[in-house]
Amino acid sequence: MPYRSTEILSPGAADKAPLHRVTLTHDQRHLRRKLLHLENDDVVMLDLKEPVMLADGDLLVLEGGGYIEVKAAQEALYEIRPRDRLHLIELAWHLGNRHLPAAIEEERILIARDPVMRAMLEGLGATVIEAVEPFHPLRGAYHGTGGHHHHGHGHDHQHG
């Protein structure tokens, strides 16, 4: 019989070490109700009231006690390097204009590999390098409020 979880805690909020771990890609970490396969071949039924975006280190609270730790999987990404800080802002604008999930850092941007986006970015003067690491893109303005465990994206907004 699988474990069951209906609650999530932020990293460091647990009173004891997790029992097991589940490793998920960025896309797999956005869920509400799903049977998750743990690293030890057990399963946990996650059944939440609303969709969430799980973060690396989040804890699934098990009915009957205990926790399952969520780990961000290694993913095939592009590391985008700009010429300078203004160029980074310009590149981020182009990616945002396409609603592309992106992790924006001070000196680089990470996106999922997409040859069309690579060609566009190189055409804009960026250096694009293949990378493999966990993907933690920023959440958009239409994400909602109240913490990282809520999700909502309205497609009724206008682009000027």
Cα separation, 119 vs 94, in Å, equals 13
Please state, in angstroms and rounded to a whole number, the distance separating the CA atoms of residues 86 and 41: 47
State the DSSP H helix or E strand holding residue 11, giving kind and residue range, or none if neither.
none
| Domain 3-72 in CATH 2.60.260.20 | yes
The CATH homologous superfamily to which domain 73-160 belongs is UreE, C-terminal domain (3.30.70.790)
Q: What is the pLDDT of residue 1?
A: 58
The pLDDT of residue 70 is 96
CA dist., res. 105 & res. 160, Å (int): 26
Are the folds of 3-72 and 73-160 the same?
no
Residue linked to tokens 């994206």: 153
- Domain limits of the chain? 3-72, 73-160
The model scores a pTM over 0.85: no
Residue with tokens 């997790």: 18
Contact yes or no for 139/121 (Cβ under 8 A) = no
Q: What pLDDT was estimated at residue 11?
A: 86
Q: How far apart are CA 132 and CA 101, in angstroms?
A: 16
Beta strands in 54-118 (DSSP E): 59-62, 67-72, 74-81, 103-104, 109-112
pLDDT per residue over 5-51, tens digit each?
A: 999 999 888 888 999 999 999 999 999 999 999 999 899 999 999 99
Low-confidence residues in the chain, pLDDT < 50: 144-160
51 close to 151: Cβ distance less than 8 angstroms: yes
Q: In this predicted structure, what is the pLDDT of residue 160?
A: 42
Provide φ and ψ at 88, rounded to 5°.
-60, -45
Q: What is the pLDDT of residue 140?
A: 60
